[in-house]
Amino acid sequence: MSTATLLISCPDQQGLVAKIANFIYANGGNIIHADQHTDLSAGLFLNRVEWELDGFNLPKDVIAPAFEAIAKPLDAQWSLSFSDQLPRLAIWVTKQDHCLLDLLWRQQAKELPAKIPLIMSNHQKLAAIAQQFNIDFHHIPITKETKIAQETKQLELLKQYDIDLVILAKYMQVLSPDFLSKFPKVINIHHSFLPAFAGAKPYHRAYDRGVKIIGATAHYVTQDLDEGPIIEQDVSRVSHRDNVQDLIRKGKDLERIVLSRAVRLHLQNRVLVYGNRTVVFA
């Protein structure tokens, strides 16, 4: 069953649910999922609607222009996706393989509706995994001096492979504001602690602090490092029996699960960003 999914946000006003539902109904569509949220403090209407393409009267390439006639007067931001057009992902890694392997396994197990034609890394270490999964691997080493030039190369590769979404699966480099302005669709995974530990060696500092819980956060990347809109988070209990290596091991388990969940939510078009926050229609 192929479906179309509309994600839309606009200033709240009366009749928005009706307008969108009528558009789909008038064209013969059957809605199988509709979820709406109103952020009363922001005065914002946010909506996700998914309907069957089978029996829908509008051809796929006409839906967007037809809907624009409705959306424009509402001052809406919206996007339209089709379940039979699989997004193309690039996974970026450095040396750690746990998130990469988890994503690749889930894509093979059909848990992630996407194609993964490209793995990029600033190291050679994980090339064998790419080969094993028959995915092109590009080694793009980064130094302070080469960063600007290499980002240009990275952008070319993203274009060449027609990539829709970059996943930083433990990619230990910061993307420049210039890169992000040219390719803004990037998801990152980041360890998180209660309380937070800025700076280097966070697991060592969490251990020294004797925390009882560690966490991980998957978020869209913005120019404020690790401060982009949060898609998904989770935590694990730890105790004094866990040494720094145990915290790192448990952290890796969290990272791979939280990142995979976030990527899946994104690929199912369940995440709507507004301000620096998200609505997740899960």
The residues carrying an active-site annotation are: 226
Only one of the segments 75-83, 113-121, 139-147, 188-196 lies at the binding site for a copy of itself (rule: CB under 8 A); that segment is 188-196
Closest CB 209 distance from a copy of itself, rounded Å: 6
Give every strand in the sheet of 165-168, ordered side by side: 136-139, 115-121, 88-93, 165-168, 186-193, 213-220, 230-237
Site for a copy of itself in 26-65 (CB under 8 A): 28-41, 46, 49
Task: Out of 12, 86, 157, 184, name the contact with a copy of itself by CB under 8 A.
Answer: 12
The angle subtended at Cα 87 by Cα 97 and Cα 260, nearest 5°, is: 35
List the one residue out of 219, 250, 222 whose CA is nearest residue 237.
250
12/136 with CB nearer a copy of itself: 12
74 binds a copy of itself per the rule CB under 8 A: no
d(Cα 157, Cα 136) in Å, to the nearest integer?
11
Site for a copy of itself in 239-278 (CB under 8 A): 239-241, 243-244, 249, 253, 257, 275-278
Cβ atoms within 10 Å of 13's Cβ, excluding its own: 11
Contacts of 81 (CB under 8 A, 6+ apart): 4, 5, 7, 269
Task: Out of 59, 65, 73, 195, name the contact with a copy of itself by CB under 8 A.
Answer: 195
Radius of gyration of the chain (CA): 21
131 binds a copy of itself per the rule CB under 8 A: no
Instruction: Take residue 131 and report the two structure tokens written for it.
Output: 């080969």
Give residue 251's Cα distance to chain centre: 19
Closest CB 149 distance from a copy of itself, rounded Å: 33
18/172 with CB nearer a copy of itself: 18
H-helix or E-strand containing 153? helix 147-160
d(Cα 158, Cα 223) in Å, to the nearest integer?
19
Site for a copy of itself in 92-121 (CB under 8 A): 98, 101, 105, 109, 111
Closest CB 167 distance from a copy of itself, rounded Å: 18
Cβ 167 vs Cβ 231: under 8 Å = no
List the one residue out of 235, 248, 232, 243 whose CA is nearest residue 282.
232
For the chain, counts of helices (H) and of strands (E): 8, 13
170 binds a copy of itself per the rule CB under 8 A: no
192 binds a copy of itself per the rule CB under 8 A: yes
163/190 with CB nearer a copy of itself: 190
Residues in contact with a copy of itself, shown as a per-residue x/- string from 198 to 217 under the rule CB under 8 A: ----------xxxxxx-x-x
Site for a copy of itself in 226-245 (CB under 8 A): 226-227, 229-235, 237, 239-241, 243-244
Closest CB 147 distance from a copy of itself, rounded Å: 26
Task: Out of 57, 124, 132, 176, name the contact with a copy of itself by CB under 8 A.
Answer: 132
36/83 with CB nearer a copy of itself: 36
